Structures are given as structure tokens and as C-alpha cells.
Amino acid sequence: MGGMSKLAWWQTAVFYQVYPRSFADGNGDGIGDFSGMTAKLDYLQSLGVDALWLSPHFPSPMWDCGYDISDFEAVAPEYGTLADFRRFLDGAHARGMRVILDLALNHTSDEHAWFVESKSSRDNPKANWYVWSDPSPISGVRNGGGREGVGAEPNNWQSCFDGPAWTYAPERGQYYYHYFMKQQPDLNWENPEVKAAMWKAVRFWLDLGVDGFRLDALGTIFERAGRPNHPVPMTLAELRRFGENANTDEEKKLAAKYWYEMFMYQWGRPHNLMKELRGILDEYPGDRMLVGEDDDVSYHGNGSDELNMVFNFPLMRTDRITPNWVRRNQKERLAALAKVSPQAWPCNTLGNHDCSRIYTRYGDGLHNAELARLNAALILTLRGTPFLYNGEEIGMTDLLLLDPSQLRDTMATWYYHALVSDLKTAPGEAARRAAGMTRDKNRTPMQWSGEPNGGFCPARVQPWLPVNPDYARGVNVQAQEDDPGSLLNFYRRLLRVRKETPALAEGDTLPVHPRAEEYLAFLRATEKQSVLIVLNYSGQSLALDFARAVRGKTLRTLFSSAGRAGSAERPSRLHLAPYEVYLAEVTA
């Protein structure tokens, strides 16, 4: 089939997100750790992924599941030691897998030594390391004003998690700003000392050999000068409830408009910072890389001076993946990237730790298993670098935690109490809403076997989050290992085909039958190879004619979810089974 071209490793790789707290418990305390993750490296290698994205592993008080970092150059004690991290990193590299880390540049924990110093007085050497403001004499809009006797918040900005974005510190007689929780104060990136300290942390991990970073929430690093009030006539809790209750298109559009307007002055584009960071990575050998938690293609810079990739989040923003939805997304996305630079590389995903699991989100309740396979094939065959989320390869689903005491996501517990206390919602209804919006539902422990707790931790131990009980019904690795028809082995076979087929990693995209409603068809083509991909999103058997698309050539089957006996197919009458995934090399 020919070898791969000279693309960088991150362009041909399949990434797999590992959520450390939920992946594998090696020491039996109910929390995932580096010992457990290292023990599962052989599994990840056998799955066929090429790179691991590690969600935050730093010391943290865990107000925001590790994104409130108290030390950027250490390992959380519950996860292990720096030596344990090195063993994990070396083990991944020895198996041919790269490792990138999650990097939150916007903020620290309020327990970070930097913030403790900054909060202590206005004269401290780190006094200007965070975003501070004097109280306002004018009450903020719908924020309820400030603390009694100290003045109002500087403006009416909201935290995107839990109410006002300003918290008063009596030690300084000032408010500090936090886009996220009050336990996550924003760093002042206008201060060169902050920049130097953060770049030092970046170099610390690069010196250890990590292969790059996924940049968290980079659009929140800078705020609008002058800090104007937002115009939305609601608090955050009211807006969340309004969005949940929106039924008509007009109401949904208004909710989206309000959400944008509530935070529009709190977002910025730190292009100069990204150029500096890219410069640091380019000093290191091995094509170190950056991927941003953003969908703004302008972060590619000129194609080689800012981020290597940003996520194609627009692909995810639907309740149902359809052929027309994908075609429209790909047309818009690839055109936008090409406009930036010929070097701007796509990056696709349908799931991560912040959103509902693929199996749940895009299922129809009747054909979830078939749709999960189609959507996996979609991500692994579209042009660009695919990102998978741990557990999707076995069909893990959302777990609704209707008992608020089981929630660990502080955003959800705040919302529950805001619904009950401020908005006078009945506790049962508030619990249902909190269970639906919490990120806990898609962060439950990885299900390794049919043993108690899904094999994540010992039976006698309570895991940090409940394990989804469907582990006992075959949604686990062990049950699917030796089943050739399992979702796990579907992923393995498809990943193997992708690795062996250069056009699937590097080929251009050519739409085929662009008006088809029931199926998505396209070619991935290089100078040396063309592959036809057909994804039947319907429950009907189809007989299709691709003779013109392949210019009279024949099809050699590379992959089929329908168990085709033969390898050669006539393109003029290709029969597809309901919900079939079909890949074929176009041959002379």
C-alpha cells in the first residue's frame, strides 16, 4: 500500500484522552493513578492508538477536578510521584506512543503559593501576579452588589461556573477576578514575571520528554480593556435554567445570544502568547506540538508560528450526526483552514471529559451500537488528526447521578443549590437538572471487567465516582476482548486499517454523491492511493453506483462492519447493509 509521507507524527497519529482519576487504580484507594495507567499501557498499545493526552495530573485541591493547579511542576500525591510519572512516560515512549499534557494557562488554584502571596498584601512582590480591582461604588447589575461595607464588585461579570466572577479579599481590600470558580483566580499575563514563571513550568515538562500540550481555555487568558458590564438581564443560574427550558428555535437562539453576550468581554485571543509558546516548543527536538481547546482557526497563525491544531468543535454541536451535517461541517472547516494556510491541519473529535459520551449523545435509543460504530469510523476517516476519549471504545455511557451527595463536579453542586435556594426549584427536579448538566456523568471510572467496581478498583473500596452498573452487562474490556464482533475489536480493526492505509492519514478529501440523505460517501486520496469511505446512516439496505466516482476502477475491500466474505466489489452495484461502515481501496 506504500509508506506514509513526511508528515509530522501528530498529523498521522490517533490521540487517546486518558482521564487519570478514572482510568486505572493501581494502589487500591479508589482513585486512578500512574501505577494503574502504566499497567494499562499494553492495552493502549494493543488498541492501536499513537498518542496519549493526559488530563491534569498536577497537585490540586480538586475544586475543578484538577484544573485548579497548586503546583505546575509536580505530580498530585494521589496519582503518585514524579518518578511514577517518568515510568509512565518512558513506558509509553517504549511502546511507540507519545504523551501530551493538559496545560491550564489562564489560572491557578487559590492555594497556589503565588496566589497566597499575592493575596497577602498590595505590597507583596507577587501583588500584581493576578487580576485585582478596587471595589466599585456602584452596585453591579443583578450581582447583588458587594460585601456589606466594602463596595460592590467591579462590574457584573459572571464566572462561567458559579455566579459572580469577582471575590473579595479583605487582606488587600480588593476583589480578584476568576473566569472559573473563586478557587481558580486568573493570572495576570500582562506581568512579565508571570509569563516567565509559566514558561519555566512548560520547559520543566519538555525537559522531561513530554511531546506537547493540550491548552485549556486559552480564550479566557485576556479580558476586554475597561471591563464593561455585560448586557444580559439574568444571572448565570437563571440563564442556565432558561437554556434548559428553551423549546422553540427562537428561545434557543436567544439563550445562545445571551450566553455569548454574558461572557463576550471576558474572552480574548492571546496570539502573541501563542507565538511565544510555539517558539519555546520549537527549540526542542522531536516535533513537540500544541493543540488548543478552541475551534478558532486563527490560532494556526501563519501555519507554522502558533498552534499546530485546534479542535473541530462545530462538528460536535448537534444532537444527531447526519451525512448532510458532516458534509456542511467539512466544507466550511476545510475551507477555513485552507484560507489560513496550506499547512493548517484539521483535528476532529466527538467526545471528551467535558461533554456527554458519544454512545449516549448521538444514539437514538434503538440503534446506539450501530451509530457508535458509524461515528467512530467517521472520526477515524475524516481528514485530520482524530482524538478519542477513554471508554468510548467499549461503549461507555453517561451515568446520571440523581443523588446530589454523589456529585463531585463543583459546578453541578453549585447549580443544584442555586436551583433550590435561589430559584425555588423542587429538590427532585433540581437533582435531575444537576445530574443532566454535570460532567461527572461522563467521567466515571473506566470499566475493565465484570468484577465489582468494573475492575477499576478492589471490591471493598469505594471509587471516587460510582462506576456505571452497565459494566456487569458486557460494557467492559474483558468481556469484549475475545468477542470479534465487539465494539472494542471494531475499534482495533479500524485503527489497524488506518495505520496500514496512507490515504486515510494524509489524503485529501473528495466528496462523493453530495446530495445523498441516507449515507455519507467520500474519497481520501494521495498521488499513490485512493480509498472510498461509505457510511450508511440509515436502517435500509442500499444498492449504490460508484463507477463514475472511481472512474471505472474496481474496489478492494479494506474494512466492513457487515462481515463481507469477498474482498473485491463491483463499484457499479455496491450493496450496503443497514448502518454499514465500508472502506475500500480503489484499484486498477
3-state secondary structure 5-35: CCCCHHHHCCEEEECHHHHCCCCCCCCCCHH
How many whole angstroms separate alpha carbon 468 and alpha carbon 405? 16
How many whole angstroms separate alpha carbon 517 and alpha carbon 540? 12
How many whole angstroms separate alpha carbon 414 and alpha carbon 417? 5
Mean pLDDT for all residues in the chain: 95
Would you say 533 and 498 are in contact if contact means Cβ atoms under 8 Å apart? Answer: no
How many whole angstroms separate alpha carbon 17 and alpha carbon 195? 27
Query: Catalytic amino acids?
Result: 216, 293
Cell numbers at 41, concatenated:
499501557
Would you say 509 and 532 are in contact if contact means Cβ atoms under 8 Å apart? Answer: no
CB proximity list for 563: less than 8 A, separation 6 or greater? none
How many whole angstroms separate alpha carbon 346 and alpha carbon 102? 19
The domain spans of the chain are 9-106+193-222+269-395, 507-587
Please calculate the CA angle 131-134-140 and round it to the nearest 5 degrees: 95
Which amino acid does the sequence have at 422? D
> For 307-426, where are the alpha helices, taking DSSP H only?
323-340, 358-361, 368-381, 410-417
Interval 122-165: pLDDT, tens: 999 999 999 999 998 865 444 444 455 567 899 999 999 878 99
Extract the residue ranges of the chain whose pLDDT is less than 50: 1-3, 140-146
Residue 588 pLDDT: 81
- The matching CATH number, chosen from 3.40.50.620, 2.160.10.10, 2.60.40.1180, 3.20.20.100, for 507-587 is 2.60.40.1180
Nearest to 454 by CA among 439, 440, 475: 475
Nearest to 521 by CA among 513, 529, 210: 513
Which amino acid does the sequence have at 370? E
How many whole angstroms separate alpha carbon 254 and alpha carbon 256? 5
List own/partner pairs for 429-436 with CB under 8 A and 24 or more apart.
Answer: 430/404, 431/402, 431/403, 431/404, 432/402, 433/241, 433/244, 434/404, 434/407, 435/400, 435/401, 435/402, 435/407, 436/244, 436/400
User: Coil, strand or helix: which one is 348?
Assistant: strand
Nearest to 205 by CA among 89, 335, 331: 89
Residue 173 zone, left/alpha/beta (φ > 0; ψ -120 to 50; rest): left
Q: How many CA atoms lie within 13 A of 72 on its CB side?
A: 21
Cell numbers at 278, concatenated:
510555539
How many whole angstroms separate alpha carbon 536 and alpha carbon 523? 15
Q: How many residues are present in the chain?
A: 588
- State the DSSP string of 452-521: GGGGSS-TTSPPSSPPPGGGGGT-SHHHHHT-TTSHHHHHHHHHHHHHH-HHHHH-EEEEESTT-SSEEE
Beta strands in 29-177 (DSSP E): 51-54, 98-104, 132-133, 158-159, 163-164, 166-169, 174-177
Residue 138 pLDDT: 61
- pTM listed for this prediction: 0.95
- The matching CATH number, chosen from 3.30.930.10, 3.40.1390.20, 3.20.20.80, 3.40.80.10, for 9-106+193-222+269-395 is 3.20.20.80
Q: What is the largest CA-CA distance in the chain?
A: 82
Are β-strands 212-216 and 289-292 bridged in parallel, bridged antiparallel, or unpaired?
parallel
Cell numbers at 274, concatenated:
501563542
How many whole angstroms separate alpha carbon 301 and alpha carbon 308? 9
Residue 372 pLDDT: 98
Residue 503 pLDDT: 97
Q: For the chain, how are helix, strand and coil distributed in percent, rounded to 5?
A: 35, 15, 45
